[in-house]
Structure 1
Amino acid sequence: MNQLGINLLVFKNELDKGIKQEQILEQIEALGVHIAEIRRECLKNLAEEIPIINKLAKEFGIELYYSVPEKVACEKKLNPDINVYFEEAKLMGASHIKFNIGDLVELSLDEIKKLRDIIYKFEIKVTIENDQTPENGNLKCVIDAIDIINKNSLPIGYTFDLGNWYWQNEDPENAFDILRSAITVFHLKNVEFLNNKPTTTLLSEGQINWKAMLKKLSNNVPVMIEYPIRNEDIRGELEEVRKILL
C-alpha cells in the first residue's frame, strides 16, 4: 500500500499567519499521517527551527521529507550550496530531499561524480521534481534529466507533481503515462481553470483524473498531498485519497 504524506503547503493559511511548521506536526500526527514534507522557504530561522522539527518528528513518529526550492545544478556546475542543504536535511533527520532540476543534464562527468559522492556521503534519498517553470517543468526537460540520471547510475529519484504540468501547458495524463516507471514520489493535487489560468482546488472539483493514476502507481511510491486546503477540508481530502490507496 502506498504511504500517504502531507506537504506543509496544505497548511498555507497557518503559515501565512506566521505559524511555524514545527507547530503543525502534531496536527499531522492527529490526522493519522506519518510523513510530512517540510518546505525550506517557509523556515524563518533555520538554526533554531530545524532541531525542534527533528525532536518533534521523532516524538510524533513522523518521517520527514525536505523540499528545497533550489536547482541541483546551475551554470553547468553543482549548486555551490548543495552541501548546506544536505547538512540541513541531516540535522532535521529527513530521509528524503527534493530539488529543482536546473542544469543537471549539462553537468560534466566530474560534477556528476561529485554529486554521486555527496549523495552517498549523506545517505539521504534524493529526488528532482517538475515544477511550474519552463526550465524545470516541461516534459522534455524532465525526460532529459531522467535519461542523464539513468545513463550515469545516479541515485536520484523523481517526484511527479501532478498539477504542475498545467502551468507549462502540458497534459498531465500523457506525462504520467510516459514517466510512470521513473516515479519514486507522487505529489497529488487537482486543478481547475479560472479566467483561463490554472489554480489548485479540492480533489473532487478539479479536472484531472487522479484516481486512475493512483490505481496505476506502484504501491511502493509515497503519495504526498500538496496544495493549500482549508482546515475543515483536510480530513475529507485525506479520506478521498485513502479510499483509492486501500
Structure 2
Amino acid sequence: MAPHIVFFQICVAIIALPMHILVVLGLWDPIPKKFLPYLLAKMTDSYNKYMGDHKKELFSSLSDFKGPSGELKVLDLGCGTGANFRFYPSGCKVLCVDPNPNFKTYLSKSLAENDHVHFQDFLVAPGENMPQVASGSMDVVVCTLVLCSVDNIDGILAEIHRVLRPGGAFFFLEHVTEDHSSWRYFFQLILDPTWKHLVDGCRLTKETWKNLEQSLFSEVKYKHVLAPLKWNPARCHIFGHALK
C-alpha cells in the first residue's frame, strides 16, 4: 500500500486511539455489538427514506417466488432491526437470522408497525453456518447491508444457496468500494482500518459483486447506485437478485 495512504490511516487511528487500545486489550468487541442495534434503530427510517425507491424496485418481484404451496417463505439474513419488513408482500412468512442477539429487542417495533408479515422466529447464527435452517426450505433469502461485515463472503453465499429451494432467489443490497480513481475511494482506504472496529466488522472496500458473479447461483443481476448522502463513506451500493 502507498506510504501516503498508510500515513493517513495512522493519523485516523491516532484520533481513535482509545478505541484501538480497547481492541488490543480485547475489551472493545462487546461495545459495538450492543450499541450498533440502538444506532441502526435510530437510522432505519432515514435510510429507508433515502433508499426507499431502490428497495421498492428490488423487492417488487418477491411475490413471483412463492413456493408450490402458494406461500412465500422469506429468510431475512442479518435482519437487524427489521428494516426491510415494510417492503415485503402481505402474508409472507419471515424467518429472521442474525449473529447479534441484541437485535431481537428492536424487532418488536418493526413487527408492530408491519403486521402484514407473518413472523416465524429469530435465530442467532452466523450466515456462514445456519444448521437450524433446512436445505431447500426457503423461497427467498434477503440480505441487505450485511456482506460488508462478513469475512467469508463465498461461505455465506454457499449457505444461502443451500437453504434456497430450486428456483428460489437471493435478493441483496450492499454497499461496496468506490471507483479506484475517485477521491471517495481514497477516503475509504484511509478510514477502513478504523471503520471496521467502529461498525462491528464493516469494511468499506469490498468488491462484493465479484463474489456474486463467481458464486453457485445460475443467474446474477445487479446494478450500481449511489446513495444520496454525499458525506457517507459507504455511498456506493449494488442491488439485485440471484437465482438458484
The TM-score normalised by the length of structure 1 is 0.36
Which has a greater percent of helix?
1
Task: Kindly name which structure, 1 or 2, has the bigger radius of gyration based on alpha carbons.
Answer: 2
